[in-house]
Amino acid sequence: MRLESVDALLAALQRGANAHDGEAVDLLDHMLQCGALLAAAEPDDFELQVAGLVHDLGTVLDPNGPATHATTGADAVESLLGARVAALVAGHDQAKRYLVSTDPAYSAQLSEMSVATLALQGGTMREAERTQFEAGEYSTSLVALRRADDAAKIPGLTVPGLDDWRPKLERVADTPT
């Protein structure tokens, strides 16, 4: 499924409200929190922020595909939001594999559901895979997105709502990479 307009994207994201994938917050709140954390950390990088906002869209579109949710989401937004946003969405599960393989403290704070889906997503990375990940064009942004992803599971946290994202989404949609 391809989302061809900001309106269609916002409607799809809205479907994440009250949809759960085993985490403490619903999918919409999770993605809003992820985008807000990245907006605070990287205020000038709208593409990274928007990637955070849409990163689990694949789970909204296909709740039964944890192993493919990253690519499902990337395919849905690529024509609208451009190649970099799509690559960040596509790679966020691989960034988990990378961090699990390189940062013991990271593994210790993963949610139960993230640990459960890790094996489905390929498990830990071998050295050659880690080297390949680090050499990737978007590795720094992928790690930033992944760390925000894991932090964005706080019940009751107040963050900007979906409507507040429209200007940034339209800006990124107007200037796809």
Nearer to Fe ion, 29 or 75 (CB): 29
Separation of alpha carbons 9 and 17, rounded Å? 14
C-alpha distances (whole Å) from 122 to each of 25, 27, 65, 73 are 25, 23, 14, 18
Binding-site string for Fe ion from residue 8 to residue 47, where x marks contact by CB under 5 A and - marks none: ----------------------------------------
The residue from 29, 47, 78, 149 that contacts Fe ion (CB under 5 A) is 149
Distances in whole angstroms, Cα of residue 131 to Cα of each of 93, 127, 134: 16, 6, 5
Q: Minimum distance between the CB of residue 140 and Fe ion, rounded to whole angstroms?
A: 18
Q: Which of residues 64-123 bind Fe ion (CB under 5 A)?
A: none
Neighbours of 63 (CB within 10 A): 13
Phi, psi of 27 (to 5 degrees): -65, -40
Site size toward Fe ion (CB under 5 A) is 2
Q: Compare residues 89 and 170 and give the one whose CB is closer to Fe ion.
A: 89
Stretch that binds Fe ion, among 68-76, 103-111, 134-142, 149-157 (CB under 5 A): 149-157
Output the CA–CA distances (angstroms, integers) from residue 81 to 45, 104, 124, 176, in the order listed: 13, 34, 30, 5
CB of 172 to Fe ion, least distance (A): 19
- Of 53-61, 72-80, 96-104, 153-161: span binding Fe ion (CB under 5 A): 53-61
Residues found near Fe ion in the complex (CB under 5 A): 56, 149
